[in-house]
Amino acid sequence: MTPQDGGKEMMGSVRWAFRCGSWTPSRSDWLLAARCIQREEKDRIGQFVFAKDAKSAMAGRLLLRKFICEKMGIPWSEIRLGRSPRGKPFLATPQKQVGSDSGQAWSFNLSHQGDYAVLAADQGVQVGVDIMKTTMPGSSSVPEFFRIMTRQFTAYEWRIIQSAGSELQQLAAFYRHWALKESFIKAIGTGLGFNLQRVEFHLSPEPLVPGSVLRHTKMHLDEEQEDDWIFEESLLDADHHVSVALGPAGISGCTALPSSLPPPASFTRLSSSELLASASPLTDEDPAYWEGFKTKAEAPQRQRDTHMST
Ligand SMILES: CC(C)(COP(=O)(O)OP(=O)(O)OC[C@H]1O[C@@H](n2cnc3c(N)ncnc32)[C@H](O)[C@@H]1OP(=O)(O)O)[C@@H](O)C(=O)NCCC(=O)NCCS
């Protein structure tokens, strides 16, 4: 295939969301879920103090495996996930992608925050996803919270955030910018250590409303507009901003031209039975894992109070 054929090739794209905030797994659900993920991930999830964090991390692992099994055609039991030195998950084995609908490699990423876990995956581009829930700051006023966060955004971004209207609208603008920035950082996989002042977002003039997906927000990197990067923004509901960053895939020089991408799609909400539909156990049942889970508080008290006040 030549680069000119790029627009004609079938490109896969997946957008899945699972509302882990309202997931109340039964004993058998939780024990089955624990059997269907890698042992080290099960151990990591078992160590979370709060059930909310354990459920969102578990949902994330199940989303990843479901995607690799159903879309990349790899049997659940053969999937071995690894992490980059900075924590980005990748498919460690098998490396040969069987059963995918074209030769383009898949890239995928995960985010869990607020009430959702989300997965975004595309072929032929590099993907990063971030979800942020708009919440009132727990222990400080909005101006004080923004003051603490000064270095995360540029002067231009702060002008946009602080002119958004009421404090709640300013917070929504803040979390929208946050999701955009973080989705880029997650696509390139750098994690902490990237100077966030290097990237500046210029928001799409169209309003972002639930049900729509916008692709017109632009990123400036080191003060130059980056047309190789596309940001798909959506609202899962009034409080949850999601940004999917799509950029050039690795060293091949493949560019994420809009014409080669499928039309932007909304996130599909999965039920808990869909989350586990393709799962098969990797380890034996561990009844103590349920005993540990059921004693966890849902979330820190302050977070529960903050949630109530938004
Ligand atoms: C790791 C990091 C990139 C994302 O963490 P986060 O926003 O707390 O969490 P999210 O829910 O969005 O994503 C977590 C998932 O991202 C994935 N992930 C972890 N490290 C990653 C990395 N370096 N790159 C891409 N994805 C990564 C993992 O799947 C993780 O879930 P899991 O550990 O349960 O499998 C983050 O810790 C970080 O370093 N952020 C940059 C720092 C910052 O100040 N950002 C402010 C933006 S304005």
Domains of the chain: 10-309 (3.90.470.20)
CA-nearest residue for atom 9, ligand 1, is: 111
CA-nearest residue for atom 2, ligand 1, is: 191
Least trusted range by pLDDT, from 8-22, 68-82, 175-189, 277-291: 8-22
Residue 2 pLDDT? 33
Sheet holding 13-18, edge to edge: 106-113, 116-123, 13-18, 268-270
Distance CA 23, CA 40 (A): 23
User: What are residue 231's phi and psi, to 5 degrees?
Assistant: -120, 120
Residue 301 pLDDT? 80
Least trusted range by pLDDT, from 3-12, 66-75, 107-116, 127-136: 3-12
CA-nearest residue for atom 3, ligand 1, is: 191
List, for residues 216-230, the tens digit of each pLDDT value: 999 999 999 999 999
CB-count exposure of residue 265 (10 Å: 0-12, 13-18, 19+): middle
Q: Give the distance (Å) from ligand 1 centre to CA of residue 113.
A: 10
Does residue 156 surpass a pLDDT of 50? yes
**Residue 207: count of CB within 10 angstroms of its CB:** 7
Q: Is the Cα torsion angle 216, 217, 220, 224 positive or negative in sign?
A: positive
More confident: 254 or 136: 136
Q: How confident is the model at residue 252 (pLDDT cuts 50, 70, 90)?
A: very low
Q: Which atom of ligand 1 is nearest to the CA of 87?
A: 20
Phi/psi-derived region of residue 134, left when phi > 0, alpha when psi is between -120 and 50, beta in every other case:
beta
Percent of all residues in the chain with a pLDDT value above 70, rounded to a whole number: 88
pTM given for the model: 0.92
Residue 96 pLDDT? 62
Least trusted range by pLDDT, from 95-109, 168-182, 274-288: 95-109
CA 9 from centre of chain: 26
Q: Give the distance (Å) from ligand 1 centre to CA of residue 191.
A: 6
Does residue 84 surpass a pLDDT of 70? yes
Ligand 1 pocket: which residues have CB below 6 Å? 57, 60, 86-89, 109-113, 130, 152, 178, 181-182, 185-186, 189, 191-192, 196
User: Can you list the alpha helix ranges (DSSP code H) found in 10-151?
Assistant: 27-35, 39-46, 51-72, 142-148
Residue 271 pLDDT? 97
List, for residues 176-203, the tens digit of each pLDDT value: 999 999 999 999 998 878 899 999 999 9
CA-nearest residue for atom 22, ligand 1, is: 88
More confident: 303 or 73: 73
Residue 209 pLDDT? 92
Does residue 257 surpass a pLDDT of 70? no
Peptide bond into 94 cis (omega under 30): yes
**Is residue 36 within 8 Å of 76, Cβ to Cβ?**
yes
